[in-house]
Structure 1
Amino acid sequence: MSYDLAFWYESRSIDSKTAFRKYDATVDGESGVTAGSPRVAAFHRDVLNAYQDLTENTSEEEAEQSPWTSSVYFNGECVLVTIAWSRRSEVADALITMAKNRGLVTYDPQDGLVIEA
């Protein structure tokens, strides 16, 4: 079981219905859903500095220690993460704080919750 979160930049407030549409389109592979921002790229670097990404070169031991159940997704517009359920509180709280520090929106699709910076 996993816990998903999405992060992107919005210049103004966004409601949960609009956030879901953007999240859903992004998960479906659409581009141009949100405006790309250097903040998103910087956040992506922050995430990978804090938690090693899963790659084909990841050792079995590293994979077991990783909070991810799949690789961190970054397309220039957003970052999508899939956190192991057992690590959701620890990692989600840290990522939300990092996102707020970068002025990004966090979308929690499990609860339909938007957390603004």
Structure 2
Amino acid sequence: MSYDLAVWDGERPRDNHQAGLVYDELYESYLESDDVVVPPTPRIVGYVGALVDRYPDDIDGRTVWASPPVIDEASGPIVYLTMAYSQAEEVSGHAASLAREHGLVCYDPQAESLRS
């Protein structure tokens, strides 16, 4: 079981409903199709780099990520983070805080809400 977050580069939506619409559009445009490969934007690359500095993709076969390497879950202005549910509270908190530091939007698709 995993816990998921989406982080994207763009203006912060005014509310959870608007964030859900933006998330759906970005997910469909950049993550849903394997046919189109879009390199992640520099801000997403920087964010993912900082995130895996704290929580590496693989340590002796162990990782907090359900789908490593994390950068492979990034496309254009969005990255979809899947983390082990057992560590979701700690990792998602750091991921959301780091997104804010990088000027990115963090969204919880399970709760359909923005993370701050």
State the TM-score, normalized to the length of structure 1.
0.75
Deviation at 1:16, TM superposition (A): 2.9
Instruction: Count how many residue pairs are aligned between Structure 1 and Structure 2.
Output: 107
Match of 2:64 in 1: 67
Deviation at 1:20, TM superposition (A): 3.5
Tell me the amino acid that sits aligned with residue 38 of structure 1: P
- Aligned equivalent of 2:19: 16
Correspondence for 1:114: 114
Q: Distance in 1 between matches of 2:60 and 2:22?
A: 33
**1:112 Cα deviation after fit:** 0.6
Aligned-CA RMSD value:
2.6
Q: Deviations over 1:37-96 (max 9, x none)?
A: 432221011112111125xxxxxx6333x1111121122421111110000000000010
When the two structures are superposed, what TM-score results if normalisation uses the length of structure 2?
0.76
Aligned match of 1:58: none
State, as a whole percentage, how many aligned pairs show the same letter: 28
Distance 1:63 1:29, change over 3 A: farther
Residues of 2 paired with 1:12 and 1:20: CA distance? 11
Contact 1:4 1:80 in 2 (8 A): yes
Q: 1:85 to 1:8 in 2, by over 3 A?
A: same
Unpaired runs of 5+ residues, structure 1, are 55-60
Once the two structures are TM-superposed, the CA of residue 22 in structure 1 deviates from its matched residue by 2.7
Runs of 4+ in 1 over 6 A off after TM superposition: none
